């Protein structure tokens, strides 16, 4: 038998084990809900991005089933050949209206939307000015584009300005930030960055994956929350988090979206969503537009849970959103906190390097609109118990 050419990877895995950072996947045995069964244990679930609880909403399920019966289970092709169904176009029109832009293109995921867009519009002669905590999909898109990448310290618009002042006026520039940062839950410096984009003639792009369905009127996102409609050229959102299904989208002008139809590689070279996914997303938009009380419930739960963690004495960073980190420091301590919480019936995922800085490992919590007060109080009681046990509070 020939030696396994991949055996060097075992060394990497052993090193993760030694550092206490090796993770097995937690298996969800039933539905993605506020209390769910993971690895055979019933736990209060603080680890999903299911902000509004839409993954199991009866209206979404009904529309998905109806679309499956009517149109089948798959689209059968990439969008540019035979895989553009009328329901895909209907979803793009609805999303454009929702985001108050001319047009929208839907991708298979938020990751594909970010990476595919940045890689499509930039070349090696261009430059990206990017917040240091921007999502991996933005970073990968920048790398694929071969543009120069200039990183500014988190939310530091003055530092971004210094970078911009040093660049040739003629060079094409993309200024890019997350709307909500996925690990810290704080908001991008949108108004200040929009000012810079106008002053220096940059393309302004915001990844609103965690803001759509959460911030702004009816969940229109941080562009709406900050009142910067018309000042952001490229808005990205996902259909995989608050919307409860799967996918990503890019909103902007009609010519820009038509360009992406021609050049964004995930759009050209990967099959489009099953019709059930598009139907589910349309039902979710109906809920955002007509039943916004669900978003208010999310915020009530967010305020309650955040205040509870703070009053227990945890370091919850600078979060302004339903994502609340409980910062532990050392990776192994964050993992221990997460594991002990799980044993006590609370699922809050531990996050360590390289997802966050080495000394900022944490467990990350996200409440949803569907958590009850009893569930959240149960979680807080166990955070108190386990936090004391591991010496964090
Ligand atoms: C900030 C941010 N952008 C983009 C994505 C990618 O979205 P999706 O899960 O739809 O691929 C994520 C999700 O993990 C995210 O947190």
Per residue in 30-74, pLDDT (tens digit) is 999 999 999 999 999 999 999 999 999 999 999 999 999 999 999
Ligand 1 within 6 A of CB of 111:
yes
Determine if residue 247 is left, alpha or beta; phi over 0 gives left, psi from -120 to 50 gives alpha, anything else beta: left
241 catalytically annotated: yes
Ligand 1 within 6 A of CB of 184:
no
Q: Which residues, including other chains, have CB under 8 Å from residue 374's CB and lie 6 or more apart?
A: none
182 catalytically annotated: yes
**Which one, of 227, 230, 234, lies nearest residue 204 by Cα?**
234
Per-residue pLDDT tens over the stretch 281-339: 999 999 999 999 999 999 999 999 999 999 999 999 999 999 999 999 999 999 999 99
Ligand 1 within 6 A of CB of 273:
no
Ligand 1 within 6 A of CB of 114:
yes
Residue 21 has pLDDT above 80, yes or no: no
Per-residue pLDDT tens over the stretch 75-100: 999 999 999 999 999 999 999 999 99
Ligand 1 within 6 A of CB of 108:
no
Tell which wins on pLDDT, 358 or 383: 383
Report the distance separating Cα 219 and Cα 392, nearest Å.
35
> In terms of DSSP bridges, do strands 127-131 and 41-45 run parallel, antiparallel, or are they unpaired?
unpaired
Catalytic residue among 88, 155, 173, 241: 241
59 catalytically annotated: no
Tell me, in angstroms, the distance from the centre of ligand 1 to residue 235's CA.
Answer: 13
Tell me, in angstroms, the distance from the centre of ligand 1 to residue 132's CA.
Answer: 16
Tell me, in angstroms, the distance from the centre of ligand 1 to residue 311's CA.
Answer: 30
């Amino acid at each position: 038998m020939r030696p396994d050419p991949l055996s060097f990877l075992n060394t990497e895995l052993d090193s993760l084990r030694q550092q206490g950072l090796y993770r097995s996947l937690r298996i969800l045995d039933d539905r993605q809900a506020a209390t769910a069964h993971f690895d055979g244990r019933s736990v209060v679930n603080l680890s999903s991005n299911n902000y509004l609880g839409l993954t199991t909403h009866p209206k979404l399920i009904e529309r998905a089933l109806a679309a499956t019966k009517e149109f089948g289970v798959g689209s059968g092709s990439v969008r540019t050949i035979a895989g553009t169904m009328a329901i895909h176009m209907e979803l793009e029109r609805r999303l454009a209206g929702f985001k108050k832009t001319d047009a929208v293109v839907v991708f298979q995921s938020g990751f594909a939307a970010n990476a595919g867009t940045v890689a499509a519009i930039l070349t090696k002669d261009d430059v990206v000015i990017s917040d240091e905590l921007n999502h991996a999909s933005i970073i990968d898109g920048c790398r694929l584009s071969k543009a120069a990448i200039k990183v500014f310290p988190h939310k530091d618009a003055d530092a971004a300005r210094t970078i911009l002042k040093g660049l040739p006026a003629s060079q094409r520039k993309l200024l890019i930030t997350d709307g909500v940062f996925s690990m810290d839950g704080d908001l991008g410096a949108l108004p200040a960055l929009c000012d810079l984009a106008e002053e220096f003639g940059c393309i302004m792009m915001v990844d609103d994956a965690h803001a759509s369905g959460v911030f702004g009127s009816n969940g229109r996102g941080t562009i709406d929350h900050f009142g910067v409609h018309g000042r952001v050229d490229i808005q990205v959102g996902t259909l995989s988090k608050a919307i409860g299904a799967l996918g990503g989208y890019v909103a902007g002008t009609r010519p820009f979206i038509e360009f992406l139809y021609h050049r964004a590689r995930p759009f050209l070279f990967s099959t489009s969503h099953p019709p059930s996914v598009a139907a589910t997303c349309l039902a979710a938009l109906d809920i955002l537009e007509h039943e916004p009380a669900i978003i208010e419930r999310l915020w009530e739960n967010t305020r309650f849970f955040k205040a509870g963690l703070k009053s227990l004495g945890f370091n919850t960073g600078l979060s302004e959103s339903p994502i609340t980190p409980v910062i532990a420091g050392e990776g192994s301590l964050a993992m221990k906190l997460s594991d002990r919480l799980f044993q006590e019936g609370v699922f809050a995922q531990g996050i360590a390097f390289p997802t966050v800085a080495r000394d900022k490992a944490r467990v990350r919590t996200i409440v949803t609109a569907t958590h009850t007060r009893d569930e959240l109080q149960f979680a807080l009681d166990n955070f108190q118990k386990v936090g004391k046990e591991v010496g964090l509070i």
